[in-house]
Amino acid sequence: MAATRAPVLSSTGLSIQFGGHVAVNAVTTQFDAGTLTAIVGPNGAGKTTYFNLLSGQLHASAGSVHFKGEDITRLSAPQRTSKGIGRAFQLTNLFPKLSVLENVRLAVQSRHSAGFNMLSVWRSRRDLIDQAAHYVAQVGLAARAGDLAAKLPHGDKRKLEVAILMALEPEILMFDEPTAGMSVDEVPVILELIGRLKTQGDKTILLVEHKMDVIHSLADRIIVLHNGRLVADGLPAEVMASPIVQEAYLGKRSAPRAAKAVAHA
């Protein structure tokens, strides 16, 4: 089914200040349904802070966030999650003393809230476990389903985070450097997963990533943050060729050719 191109998430004049430092500075943009947008920029550009403002971990000093037309600026992170904005957290979301399967089962359960119906607890529990096993298999962790989360090597923990996010079935999936700290042979599993989520067409994916090959293979669009400002926005090839990106992001002084991408002052 063809993806509908309509804004599902947007920020308007979104800003946050830490002391005198403006970490995100009046960022106005929108994310269309069924697209994958990569958010790039040098270290300290404000990418993670912008993510925190969208997902509710931080609250804006100014500006607003809208989800499907609703102003969610004042909603907490859990309220935004329940509306369908899902974010993979780097290792902080895992229950270390529970197994891989149980970690994912809890995510499935929180979506269904099945535990409240005492009459159907057993049947629901079986369903929940089956669904959890499906997500565990999708991220390539079936063989480790019974292992404690704490015992997993780093790369497998990152895969488990993705399984938890998928189990929540959010409309928006936010990944902040999903392959960071992974060995080279583990990276493709996560990239294939994100690629598969993308081809489903109904998910809106936001990806903070430094690896250019990852961005090129997955992104429909790139936005560039620099010193907290949105400085470029467009198709990957255009944005990567733009002088502002060549200089600000790749550290090159001269740009090969002029950019077609929209450069924001």
Ligand X SMILES: Nc1ncnc2c1ncn2[C@@H]1O[C@H](COP(=O)(O)OP(=O)(O)OP(=O)(O)O)[C@@H](O)[C@H]1O
User: For residues 64 and 227, which CB has a smaller minimum distance to ligand X in the complex?
Assistant: 227
Least Å from the CB of residue 84 to ligand X: 23
Q: Among positive and negative, which fits the CA dihedral 7, 108, 96, 138?
A: negative
Name the token pair of 130.
């089956």
Q: What character string, x for contact with ligand X (CB under 6 A) and - otherwise, covers 140-179?
A: ----------------------------------------
What are the DSSP calls for 8-45, one per residue? Answer: EEEEEEEEEEETTEEEEEEEEEEEETT-EEEEE-STTS
Least Å from the CB of residue 225 to ligand X: 6
Least Å from the CB of residue 240 to ligand X: 17
Least Å from the CB of residue 51 to ligand X: 8
Q: Are 136 and 145 in contact (CB under 8 A)?
A: yes
User: For residues 85 and 152, which CB has a smaller minimum distance to ligand X in the complex?
Assistant: 85
Pairing relation of β-strands 70-71 and 62-67? antiparallel
User: For residues 87 and 105, which CB has a smaller minimum distance to ligand X in the complex?
Assistant: 87
Rounded to the nearest 5°, which phi and psi values hold at 136?
Answer: -60, -40
Which amino acid is located at 121 in the chain? Answer: V
- Cβ atoms < 10 Å from Cβ of 26: 16
Name the token pair of 190.
């996560």
User: For residues 27 and 241, which CB has a smaller minimum distance to ligand X in the complex?
Assistant: 27
Least Å from the CB of residue 49 to ligand X: 3
Number of residues this chain uses to bind ligand X (CB under 6 A) = 10
Q: What character string, x for contact with ligand X (CB under 6 A) and - otherwise, covers 45-84?
A: xxxxx-----------------------------------
For the segment 10-49, give every residue that binds ligand X (CB under 6 A). 18, 23, 41, 43-49
User: For residues 52 and 81, which CB has a smaller minimum distance to ligand X in the complex?
Assistant: 52
Rounded to the nearest 5°, which phi and psi values hold at 226?
Answer: -150, 125
Least Å from the CB of residue 251 to ligand X: 14
Measured between alpha carbons, how far is 198 from 219 in angstroms, rounded to an integer? Answer: 9
Which amino acid is located at 66 in the chain? Answer: H
DSSP designation for 67: E
User: For residues 136 and 174, which CB has a smaller minimum distance to ligand X in the complex?
Assistant: 174
Name the site residues for ligand X (rule: CB under 6 A): 18, 23, 41, 43-49
